[in-house]
């Protein structure tokens, strides 16, 4: 068994794949430097070797590439903010062996819990039509917590800045 392992290792290390790897080079990009186009003698055909370049050597023998005009990209329109979007956030301090748990209202209006989270914590929820309850409750064993509920456009819905082990925000 050991002999087979040694033979296999030797084949992999020394025998291996003897095929060589070559790079595929596409057509020369317009205005890019190449050994054929870097410098050309005045009047030589090297200035337009591929036929798709209209580069020409100047009086000093340097090939000047043609520049294509660039247009600025169209700005992307910002998507409309859904008015049912809320952002729950919890900030504060978390001690080394502290456990911070957060209970928040999800899109269906049901409570969800995130255990042992890092601070600051935030979650963006798009409430289903008809769901009116917005709430976030954070608990800690030793930390000092604050919470906030804002709309997607930044308007404050509820906030608690008491720096206590329990922070409650509801609307």
- pLDDT tens figures, 38-65: 444 444 444 444 444 445 555 666 666 6
CATH number at residue 132: 2.60.40
**Any domain includes 90:** yes
- CA dihedral (74, 124, 92, 166) in degrees, to 10, reads 160
SS3 (DSSP) at 11: helix
Most confident of 63-67, 69-73, 82-86, 130-134: 130-134
Q: Kindly state whether residue 101 falls inside one of the protein's structural domains.
A: yes
pLDDT higher at 76 or 43:
76
State the Cα–Cα distance between residues 26 and 63, nearest whole angstrom.
21
pLDDT at 13 over 70: no
Whole-prediction pTM value?
Answer: 0.55
Domain that holds residue 160: 85-170
Q: Is there a domain that residue 66 lies in?
A: no
| 76 lies in some domain | no
Predicted pLDDT at 106: 97
Q: Is residue 65 part of a domain?
A: no
Residue 16 domain flag: no
1 domain-assigned: no
Q: Total domain count for the chain?
A: 1
As a whole number, the mean pLDDT across the chain is 76
27 domain-assigned? no
């Amino acid at each position: 068994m050991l002999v087979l392992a040694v033979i296999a290792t030797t084949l992999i290390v020394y025998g291996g794949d003897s095929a060589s790897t070559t790079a595929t080079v596409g057509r020369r990009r317009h205005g890019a430097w190449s050994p054929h186009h870097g410098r050309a003698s005045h009047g030589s055909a090297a200035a337009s070797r591929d036929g798709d370049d209209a580069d020409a050597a100047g009086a000093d023998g340097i090939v000047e590439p043609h520049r294509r005009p660039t247009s600025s990209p169209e700005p992307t329109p910002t998507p409309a903010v859904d008015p049912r979007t809320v952002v729950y956030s919890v900030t504060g301090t978390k001690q080394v062996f502290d456990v911070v748990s957060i209970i928040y209202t999800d899109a269906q209006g049901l409570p969800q819990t995130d255990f042992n989270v890092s601070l600051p914590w935030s979650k963006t929820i798009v409430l289903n039509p008809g769901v009116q309850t917005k709430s976030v409750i954070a608990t800690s064993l030793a930390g000092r917590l604050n919470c906030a509920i804002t709309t997607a456009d930044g308007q404050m819905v509820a906030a608690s800045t008491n720096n206590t082990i329990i922070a409650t925000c509801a609307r």
